[in-house]
Each structure stands twice: as C-alpha cells, then as structure tokens.
Chain A
Amino acid sequence: MRTRADLLGWIGLAGRLYLGFVFLAAGLAKLPEPAITEQAVRGYQLLPWQLAPAYAIAMPIAEIVLGALLILGLFTRTAAVATALGLCSFLVGITSAWARGLNIDCGCFGGGGASADPAYLADTFRDLGWLAIAVYLILVRRTKLALDNLLFRRVTPSEEDYSESSKKTELGSSA
C-alpha cells in the first residue's frame, strides 16, 4: 500500500541520485586539474590569495564525498545540509561576481577564470534549483533505498505496540 511518506521517499531518492551525480561529476571534473580550479577560485576575488590552492584541492574532494554520500543515502540529512551550504557559497560567489561587474566563468564543472560571456543568470537559477533539492532532502526525514534506513533504523510506535502485545501474549501463554 502506497502512503504519502512512501511517495515523499521516492521523490527523495530521485533528488538524492540527481544531486549526488551532479556533485560527483563536478568533483571528478575538477579533481585532475587543480591549477585550473585554483585559477577559477581566484577569479571570484573572494578568498584570500593564499587560500586558493588549498580550496582548489579541498572543494573537488568534498564534492565527491558529498556526491557519494547522497547516492548511497548515508548520513543523508547531514550531507544535504553540507550540500546546501556549498550551493549557498557558490550562489554568493556567482551573484557577488555579477554585482561587482566581474566577467568570469563559474568553473563549476572545470575550467573557470576570465570569460567574455558569463552566464550568471543561468548559473544562479541552476544553483537555486539544486538548492531546492538539497532543502527537500533536509526536510524529508526518510528517502527510499538509503543506507541510513539499514544502519539507523528507528523503532516506530506500531513496532513498539507490537512488541508489547507479543510480550503479553508470551506471558499469557507461559502462565
């Protein structure tokens, strides 16, 4: 029997897989090219100059880890919070570059740096869409086919009732 929670869970699974593969693809695209990613990070002129190399290495690794966690459904809500924070930082980076009149490519899937034709509006709406998915994953408590469901199984009231009644039955039968 299909319930509302089931439906929300299946939608959550779809969101998890989509967002997970997006982050995995973004991380894998940037990981082999730290110098280009560093150039992209410096293009935003937001972080201190010395932090750019470390950020250019840490960000793809974080994206790959978060992507894997979302796909597996492991620590889903924590991963979704981290993903939402990451997307918020990307949104702030893109919109602040736009507000300051910089002409850069977002470098979200590799590349980056100066660009004659920046796509700030499209990048902003795309990231807002992904942020909406991350927020959904934070709000919905369970998604389907997630490792969380196996590892952190919660005892529902009905199960408690069942175990209590079964205890009574056992006591009754033994008496």
Chain B
Amino acid sequence: MWYVVGLVAVSVAVLALGVWFVRREIRDEVSSPPVLWAGYAVVAAFVVFGVLRTSWVVLS
C-alpha cells in the first residue's frame, strides 16, 4: 500500500516538474508550444499508464 502511495506521489511531482519544464522551454522559445505540449502529453500518458498498471499489480 505504502509503495503505491509513494509511487503516485513521485509521479505527480514528476508531472508537475514536466509542466514547469515545458513552460520554461516555451518561454525561451526553444520549440513551438504545440510540439512541446504534445511531447508532454505522450510522456504523461506513459507515466499515468505505468502508475495505474503497477498499482494494480502491487495491490492485487
């Protein structure tokens, strides 16, 4: 149970850091916002799927 709580907490922190990173890249005009947000969406989907799958396996 505590493992899942920790995993979710770390994942939320990672996703929040990802938002900060994307906004920094947009502010500095490193790449176009749609490309950066699309990349973030792919990464976030991977993270969310990984957390859900791992939580399911650990708790079952």
CB distance from B35 to the nearest CB of A (A): 11
Q: In whole angstroms, how far apart are the Cα atoms of A85 and B45 in the complex?
A: 11
CB of B48 within 8 Å of the partner chain: no
Interface band, chain A: 10 to 19
Chain A residue numbers with a CB within 8 Å of B43 are 81, 85
Does the CB pair B57–A85 fall under 8 Å? no
Within 8 Å CB of A138, what residues of B? 21
Tell me if A46 and B53 are in contact (CB < 8 A): yes
Interface residues of B (CB under 8 A from A): 3, 7, 14, 21, 30, 39, 43, 46-47, 50, 53-54, 57-58
A149 interfacial contact with B, CB 8 Å: no
A103 proximal to B (CB < 8 A)? no
Tell me if A39 is interfacial: C-beta within 8 Å of chain B.
Answer: no
- B46 in contact with A85 (CB, 8 Å): yes
Contact A99 B58 (CB under 8 A): yes
A124 contacts chain B at the CB level, 8 A cutoff: no
A81: nearest chain-B partner, CB-CB: B43
Instruction: Choose one: A45, A81, A89, A139; the contact of B57 (CB below 8 Å).
Output: A45
List, sorted by A's number, 25 A–B pairs whose CB atoms are closer than 8 Å.
Answer: A46-B53, A46-B57, A78-B39, A81-B39, A81-B43, A85-B43, A85-B46, A85-B47, A88-B14, A88-B47, A89-B50, A92-B7, A92-B50, A92-B54, A95-B3, A96-B3, A96-B7, A96-B54, A96-B57, A96-B58, A99-B3, A100-B57, A100-B58, A138-B21, A139-B21
Query: Chain A 133-148 against B: per-residue CB contact (8 Å), 1 yes, 0 no?
Result: 0000011010000000
Complex contacts, B53 vs chain A, CB 8 Å: 46
With A81-B43, A92-B50: A141-B3 Cβ-Cβ less than 8 Å: no
The distance from the CB of B20 to the nearest CB of chain A, in whole angstroms, is 11
Q: A85-B46, A96-B3, A139-B21 are in contact. List 6 more A-B contacts (CB 8 A).
A: A46-B53, A88-B50, A92-B50, A95-B3, A99-B3, A138-B21
Which residues of chain A have C-beta atoms less than 8 A from B21's C-beta? 138-139
